[in-house]
Amino acid sequence: MVGWNMKTTCCAAMAAMLAVPAGSALAASPVLQAEQSDVATLPPVGAHWVLPATDRESYTIYDADAGRILGTVPASILGNIALSPDRRTFYVADTIWSRVDHGTRQDLIQEYDAHTLALRREITLPPRALAVYKGQDFDVSPDGKWAYVFDMSPATSVTIVDLAKGAVAHTVDIPGCALVFPWKQGGFSSLCGDGSLTNVGYAGDKPTVTHSAQFFDANNDPIFEQGLVDHATGQALFISYTGKVYNVTLGQRPDIAAPWSIQAAAGQPVAGTGVQEQAWRPGGKQPFAWNRASGHLFVLMHVGPHWTHKTDGTEVWELDPTHHTLLRRIDLPQPARGIAVSGDAAPLLYATSQDGIMTVLDARTGAVRRTVEAHAESMIVAPDLMPGHNG
């Protein structure tokens, strides 16, 4: 009641103030026009768009060149986002409860029009794995036909969703394995607890499952969950806690190259597994990014002993994964927990910090272009714009 009275009083006073000069003026009374409502639309997804997860309730779309917010895609702290290869749709895999933190659980993919951000469709899922901000929990096949949703009940499986039909096509158990890394075509691989990859081929009928040989030591030098995939080629980079990089061509029979060391590429001592062994090491919540135009790998690095793989990074190292060389070390203005890089030839590097700040840097010089109080969480998405699609 008080609020209502206050508001009424306030409005009345405003009306009185406006009425006095209007009444005293001799100008013709204005013609009142009905407001025209419209719906703002977005231009095609740009090379310098970036989507940090923000305030645990959305992904915010930024134009990093203009430093401007373009829109917001709702997603909870458990939500993962992926852009369709044709750049026309944002998919969000999320989990909600009817009474917020309890009640009936609902797992779903929400499909947003990338042009209007209108919610176009919702696809019901079986219970997915609940992880706070992990891009490797959810992905879309490079042909745009299938979505892969990682489930952990805690038995692990992947739900394959037919995106044309908007329905679950198949659930494949991946015992002892986790996460999804899409191939160039026709399937995905997952990382396994025995140091191998499981490879699931699926084209709409019965899945074909193969396993690679063991190639990493899951107990003593595990691979980060945040491995990277180039959707256009099916090339993947898997990086171990000590900084070994495995270049892999994903497929039914993946081609796994002998690992090379990030530190050796940088002329630094190779990091070992000693619990007191100080060395430069990769770390953070989202420690890796891959620039499509140059093929260069960007790694968030810090100095610490073994098992500090979640420690914020103080530098970003730019490496050439083909020639195993260091190109640049970028000293960050403040430690970052996550990075992303745009895919174009004039790349921007994005870094998110504990305090929610997103720093935008010129990846070619390391110069800070912009500091944004973005309320950013650890996950930050630079849309992977594959060649041959224009949105």
Partner 1 sequence: MKGRGAAHGGRRTTMRQRFLILSLVILPALAVLGLARAAPMAGALPVIPATQGHYLMGCGGCHGIQGRSGREVVPDLAGQVGYFLCTPEGRDYLVRLPNVAFANLSSEDLARMMNFVVFTFGGASVPANSRPYTTAEIAALRANPLRVADLHGYREQIVRAVTHACPAAAGLHGYDVAQAAREGQ
CB 196 within 8 A of CB 209: no
Whole-number Å distance between alpha carbons of 365 and 135? 27
Strand order across the beta sheet in which 49-54 lies: 68-74, 58-63, 49-54, 376-381
Nearer to partner 1, 152 or 303 (CB): 152
Q: How far is the CB of 327 from partner 1 (least distance, A)?
A: 37
Total binding residues toward partner 1, as defined by CB under 8 A: 24
* 218 lies in the binding site for partner 1 (CB under 8 A): yes
Contacts of 289 (CB under 8 A, 6+ apart): 228, 297, 298, 339, 340, 341, 349, 382
The closest of 128, 21, 49 to 343, measured between CA atoms, is 49
What SS3 class is residue 4?
helix
> What is the DSSP-derived secondary structure letter of residue 135?
G
Q: How far apart are CA 138 and CA 83, in angstroms?
A: 11
Smallest gap from Cβ 233 to partner 1, in A, equals 26
CA 351/CA 335 separation, integer angstroms = 9
CA 326, distance to chain mean position in Å, is 25
Footprint (CB under 8 A) of partner 1, residues 158-197: 168, 171-177, 192-194
Q: What is the largest CA-CA distance in the chain?
A: 89
Among 54, 58, 84, 198, binds partner 1 (CB under 8 A): 198
Nearer to partner 1, 218 or 357 (CB): 218
Return the number of the residue (72 or 273) whose C-beta is nearest partner 1. Answer: 273
Contact status: 96 vs partner 1 (CB under 8 A): no
Within residues 108-137, the interface with partner 1 by CB under 8 A covers 126-127
Using the rule CB under 8 A, is 242 a contact of partner 1? no
- Cβ 328 vs Cβ 352: under 8 Å: no
Q: Does residue 98 belong to the site contacting partner 1 (CB under 8 A)?
A: no
Residue span binding partner 1 (CB under 8 A) among the ranges 37-45, 138-146, 152-160, 371-379: 152-160
Rounded to the nearest whole angstrom, what is the least distance from the CB of residue 146 to partner 1 in the complex? 16
Query: What are phi and psi for residue 13, nearest 5 degrees?
Result: -65, -45
Closer CB to partner 1, 162 or 173, in the complex: 173
Residue 77 makes contact with partner 1 by CB under 8 A: no
Query: In which residue are the tokens 């990093």 written?
Result: 64
Q: Which amino acid is at 208?
A: T
Q: Compute the least distance from the CB of residue 210 to partner 1, in Å.
A: 9
Tell me the window of 28-36, 151-159, 179-187, 228-236 that interacts with partner 1 (CB under 8 A): 151-159
Quote the least distance from Cβ 359 to partner 1, whole Å: 36
209 binds partner 1 (CB under 8 A): yes
Kindly state whether residue 154 participates in binding partner 1, applying the rule CB under 8 A.
Answer: yes
Q: Which residues are at the interface with partner 1 (CB under 8 A)?
A: 126-127, 153-155, 157, 168, 171-177, 192-194, 198, 200, 207, 209, 211, 218-219
